[in-house]
Amino acid sequence: MVEQATAFKVKKVEKSRVNQLDPENIVFGTLFTDHMLVADCIDGVWQTPEILPYGDIAYNPALASLHYGQSIFEGMKAFRNVADEVVMFRPEENFKRFNISAERMCMTPVPEDIFLGGLNEVLKLDAAWVPKGEDNSLYLRPFMFASDVYLGVRPSYNYRFMIIMSPAGKYYSEPPKVKIETEFIRAAAGGVGYAKCAGNYAASLYPAKLAQEQGYTQLLWTDAETHTKFEESGTMNVFFVKDGKLITPKTSTTILKGITRDSLITIAKDLGYEVFEQDVYVKDIVDGIRDGSVTEVFGAGTAVVVSPFSGIGFEGEDIALPAINSSSVSSILKENLDGIRKGQIADTHKWVYKV
């Protein structure tokens, strides 16, 4: 249940910019809604959150998060359902994960009424920004950063929590071609792989850039110790279809516990698929693509939803995957996920929250 916040200071825009939104032509992460939420935690005490016109924020050059990376975020979406209502998908799960990330990064947890209540408030105000259209949604980005002005290395005493929102369409315009990464690593056991912290994304940029220079869209990360097992892909968890069964790496301290991942596993089981969360070996998958037993590899995440890969690069060789059609497992899972979110399929797990 999403709680209402008791008090928010609200300063509305004089004139909405929603006419800048063209639902036919949305580029991810480039346009932001009229309002944003700002809440400061000062010496452990959360101040009254403010909803303000979207805009720049001033920062001191000694802001701790700029130097030592105490910064976390969530990725969530709001949808317009078939009854034209605005809904969020499993927001409590993002709230829980946010504070798991906060704990790992030694940051003050955010209270539910600020996180969930705040989302509710900004969404009500900017509901007109939730676009219609099959693959369209409003991407919600709660985030928090250390706001001490201090150069010593220690956890900050002060934090700023914010929510910004941005219309989203398809994240990838074409099915990604991914490279199996066997040199660089994303995360090691005992590290911060399971936390949605900014540094995880920063550290992935250089290996991803090298792969992009070789013609790949993204990386498929392997385990830090042996590079023989799959972990996750950049910006998404990863699934494999082998002999009609759905397989995904089991979560650990090195893998983000994706909410889309969890939803797809549940939907697949509901639909009667066999699902295995286990170690997934690179060799088995590469051999399986070659002998035809592995028919699909796809990413799953809030931003990408369900994103089938066109092919995989391994040890300098490109291995194509069969084309996807409407009876592919990934298509069926996506159709069911979209159907639940848009109110076309019964929400038996109570995942949809009406704003």
Residues of the shown chain interacting with ligand COI in the complex, contacts defined by CB under 6 A: 75, 201, 235, 301-303
Q: How far is the CB of 309 from ligand COI (least distance, A)?
A: 16
Could you tell me the smallest distance in angstroms from the CB atom of residue 337 to ligand COI? 14
Query: In angstroms, what is the minimal distance from the CB of 147 to ligand COI?
Result: 22
Nearest to ligand COI of 295, 302 (CB atom): 302
- Least distance to ligand COI, CB of residue 335, Å: 19
Cβ 165 to ligand COI shortest distance, Å: 13
Helices 259-270 and 91-104, packing angle to 10 deg = 140
Q: Looking at the chain, which runs of residues are DSSP E strands? A: 9-10, 35-42, 45-46, 50-53, 71-73, 76-80, 86-89, 137-146, 159-168, 177-181, 218-222, 230-233, 237-242, 245-249, 275-278, 294-301, 305-308, 311-314, 317-320, 352-354
| 267: CB partners within 8 A, 6+ apart | 333, 336, 337, 340
Q: Determine the residue with CB nearest ligand COI.
A: 75
Q: How many CB atoms lie within 10 A of CB 345?
A: 14
Neighbours of 178 (CB within 10 A): 27
Residue closer to ligand COI, measured from CB, 248 or 295: 248
Residue among 31, 84, 29 at smallest CA distance from 54? 31
Nearest alpha carbon to residue 321 among 332, 333, 311, 331: 311
Report the residue number, 21 or 305, with the smaller CB distance to ligand COI.
305
Cβ proximity to ligand COI: between 52 and 88 the closer is 88
Nearest distance, CB of residue 24 and ligand COI, angstroms: 21
Which residue number, 69 or 301, has a Cβ lying nearer to ligand COI?
A: 301
Question: In residues, how long is the chain?
Answer: 355
In the bound state with ligand COI, the residue whose beta carbon lies nearer, of 192 and 303, is 303
